[in-house]
Structure formats: C-alpha cells, structure tokens
Structure 1
Amino acid sequence: MDRIDHLFNQYANTSSNLIDPEGIEELCSNLEVPHTDIRILMLAWKMKAEKQGYFTQEEWRRGLKALRADTLSKLKKALPELEKEVRRQSNFADFYAYAFRYCLTEEKQKSIDIETICQLLDIVMGSTFRAQVDYFVEYLKIQNDYKVINMDQWMGFYRFCNEISFPEMTEYNPELAWPLVLDSFVEWISEKQA
C-alpha cells in the first residue's frame, strides 16, 4: 500500500490531496497513452471514481490494488488486461453505464449534451459497433428533436447494438419499449436506405 500511496502522491495536487486533471494528464503522459484513451476511462471504472477528472486516494488505492499495480510500469502492463476484463460481456454493460454516469458533471444532472454523447459513443462503443455508432452519431448531429441524451436512451442504444442486426434491423419492433430517439433513428435509417 505504501508504494501505491507513493505513486498517488507523485500525481496528486498537494492542496486538494486529489489527482486532478493536470495530474491525470501527467499520468497519461508517463503511461504513454492519450488522456482521451478509453483505457483511462476503464481505469476510472476500476477505481469506481465518482468525479470526472479526479481520483481520490481511496479510489486510487482500490483501483491499483485490484490491478496489482504499485509502480508505473506495473500499471502500464496492467492496462491491456484491464481492457480485456472490461470488454467481457459480463462487465461491458456495467462499464457502458458507468461511462455515462462518469460524464455527469453536476450532482442533479440527468442528461448529457449531444456533442459530448457523440464523443463518448465513439470512445466507448466505436471499436465494437463501428457502423451503428457512426450512423447514430450522424443522426444525432443532424436531428433537431434532442439536445441531450439521458441514461435510458444511452442504455437503449447499447441494447439496440446487442439485439438488432445492422443494417437490416428486421428484429426492430417500434411497439416494444425502445426510447423514442431510437424509433426516430431507425425511421431515419430506413428513409436513408430507401
């Protein structure tokens, strides 16, 4: 634990005793990964970090202990394993929901603006569901009905990617409980393909 704390202190802001955005950028630089890399979000998930851009000492300890990493080089080696762990079906839905909650910046906030959602979808789902993400992002950018996306809509898109064959979408039934944004999205794609 001492080595984990020593590593924490290397990146922590001494006045707040938190690793703040500057500390995270320095950590990313030392790990040789961009701060927008999905593995940094996965690291936050592993720590169960509550506030975007900040790691408390307790969160840091929890994450690094679980990864068995008490040095920078061990943390660097743990990232590919962490990515495999997150990508397992049993963990990915939890990670996907976490990514949304982590991006809520205010306590009472319940939704995220379209621009941020588009970036988040690309980071979180882009490598697994490229076509669906590209189409959905394109749709979100041109439509005028939605300024924000809430958790129900976010999770609905995850379900859509897992249950609906794309681009045929023959299994899609608008009578089922899909968020309206997905009904509109499917309609938009059908018109586009017609």
Structure 2
Amino acid sequence: MLMKMRRSASRKTNSTTDATTDLFRSAASKASSREMERIDNLFHSYGDKSSGMIDPEGIENLCSDIEVEHTDVKILMLAWKMKAEKQGYFTLEEWRTGLKALRADTVNKLKKALPELEKEVRRPSNFTDFYAYAFRYCLTEEKQKSIDIESICELLELVLGSVYRAQVDYFMEYLKIQTDYKVINLDQWTGFYRFCNEISFPDFNNYDPDLAWPLLLDNFVDWMKEKQT
C-alpha cells in the first residue's frame, strides 16, 4: 500500500513539474515572439518599402536616433554583429540576427547595447574576425578583391587608429606617397594587423623580411628605416 502511495505521489509530482515546465516554455516562447515582433517593427520604421531593406538613408536616421555618427566605428561593429553583407544596407534577417543577439528591441536598448558591443569586438578573439570583416564589408562589387588607397586609409583610421596610432599614421603616410600600389588586397590588409601585433615599433628589431610578409610591408619597413637615418 505504501509503495502504491509513493508511486502515486511521484506521478503527481512529475505531472506538476511537467505542467510548470510547460508554462515556463510557453511564457518564454510568447516573450520571444513579442521581442521579435518589436525588432521587426523597429526594422520597418527605418526600412525602405520598395527595397525591403534599411538603406543608407535609413542607417543615417538610425544613427541620429541612437546618437552615433554614421562614420563611427560602432556602426561597423553593429554591421559585424548582424553579419551584414552589403555596405550601407541591412536586410531584415541581418537586423534580426544582430538585435536578437544584443537583446535590443527598442532604440533605447540598442543605444545602451553599443558600449558592450564595442567591448565584445575589442576582445582579441573577436577583433581579428572583425578586422577582416571590415575589409570585406567595404568591397562594393561582387567580384571586387581590393580597395583603393584612399578608402583603405579611411578604414585604417576607423578600425585601428585608436589602438595603433603611430603605426597607422606612418603606414598611411607611406601608402599615400608610394607609387607601386594603387589598391590593397585582403592579404596585405590582414598582414598589417599582424605587423602591428608582432613587430616592435619603431625599431623593427624583430622584423624578418624572409618570413611570409607581404612585399608591401617589406617596402614600408625599408621606407621607415630610411626615414629614421
């Protein structure tokens, strides 16, 4: 008799637990659905109806609302978080990806999320990916594989200027006066970030030109050494 009572009590307990779990799941599902609805509504408030995307004008309006300049690196970081593919445009799916990850379904929440997003991007494990993404994001044509010097200098200033000030300033100076390269490719772009991380500056004591550095950086180091003599 005691065994039957215990089994009965156990079934009731399990039943109650299952019911509670179902309630939590239902509430969580409804909350998630409402959050996504708000995220979608926010997208449509900036999106262009004819293209179905947030275009450059929409992004400028968004920047105004979150009080960030459209040239601020945080907007590029936001694009990275969204995994946005086309410069100056956000699709609905990209918008959902980014804002859901940031738990931002209002303008105010998005504004508050940006400082934490910047911290996330600045972690070494993420920054390498972000740095490469910045280059790819600035490719404006499908088969384009390189970026002109002027645009590269602007991108360097935006992405690395606050971290490696001296290296960026000298490298930009060199890029603007040299005549061998009119464009920069991804290998050269990522090579410069590796250079900033690994090479002592400005003495270059640990720079070995026999290692796998882009020729552009060999030339840059030679130019810097001549400048210092």
Corresponding letter in the other structure for 2:49: T
Secondary structure of 2:190's partner? helix
Q: Provide Cα deviations, 1:19-62, integer angstroms capped at 9, x if missing partner.
A: 00000000001111110000000000000000000000000000
* Distance in 2, Cα, partners of 1:170 & 1:103: 33
Residue in structure 1 matching 2:203, options 156, 168, 184: 168
Give SS of 2:104's match.
coil
**Greater RCO (Cα-Cα under 8 Å, separation 6 or more):** 1
Which residue of structure 2 aligns with residue 16 of structure 1?
51
Amino acid in structure 2 at the alignment position of 1:106: E
- In structure 1, the residue matched to 2:108 is 73
Q: CA deviation at 1:168?
A: 1.2
Q: Please state how far the C-alpha of 1:165 moved relative to its aligned partner.
A: 1.2
Q: Equivalent residue for 1:31?
A: 66
Cα distance between partner residues in 1 of 2:136 and 2:207? 27
Q: CA RMSD in A?
A: 0.4
Alignment match, 1:145: 180
2:19 is matched with which residue?
Answer: none
Match of 1:117 among 152, 168, 191: 152
1:116 is paired with a residue whose SS is: helix
> TM-score, with normalisation over the residues of structure 1?
0.99
**Number of corresponding residues:** 194
Large movers: runs of 4+ above 3 Å: none
The SS at the match of 2:98 is helix
Segments of 5+ residues of structure 2 without an aligned counterpart are 1-35
Q: Which amino acid aligns with 2:193?
A: Y
User: Which structure has greater helix proportion?
Assistant: 2
Q: TM-score scaled by structure 2?
A: 0.84
Aligned partner of 1:60 in structure 2 is 95
* 1:50 corresponding residue in structure 2: 85
Q: Which runs of 5+ in 1 are unaligned?
A: none
